[in-house]
Amino acid sequence: MKDKPERKTKSVTKQVWEWDTLNDLKAIWMREKSDITEREYNDFYKTITKDNQEPLAHTHFNAEGEIDFKAIMYIPQETP
């Protein structure tokens, strides 16, 4: 009886990507206006502008048309 020759196998490397969500919080401008407190608006303003005063006013709005976006616009207490 003859010995069967061993079949040569080919090893294939498969790359797998696993993603972990580090931060599942929405950006403040993406959240609903009713869910955001005045303090959160003021803290966000101070963070992005490095200003120690609170803003004079702010508006949180959605624009819809050819391009849709959400934004917050702040008016500072003093001009820079």
Under 8 Å between Cβ of 29 and 40: no
Amino acid 7: pLDDT: 77
Backbone torsions φ then ψ of 72, nearest 5 degrees: -125, 130
Amino acid 23: pLDDT: 87
User: What is the per-residue pLDDT across 8-29, written as a single tens digit (0 to 9) for each?
Assistant: 888 889 999 999 988 888 999 9
pLDDT at 2 over 90: no
User: What is the per-residue pLDDT across 23-57, written as a single tens digit (0 to 9) for each?
Assistant: 888 999 999 999 999 999 999 999 999 999 999 99
pLDDT at 1 over 70: no
| Residues in a beta bridge with 72 | 60
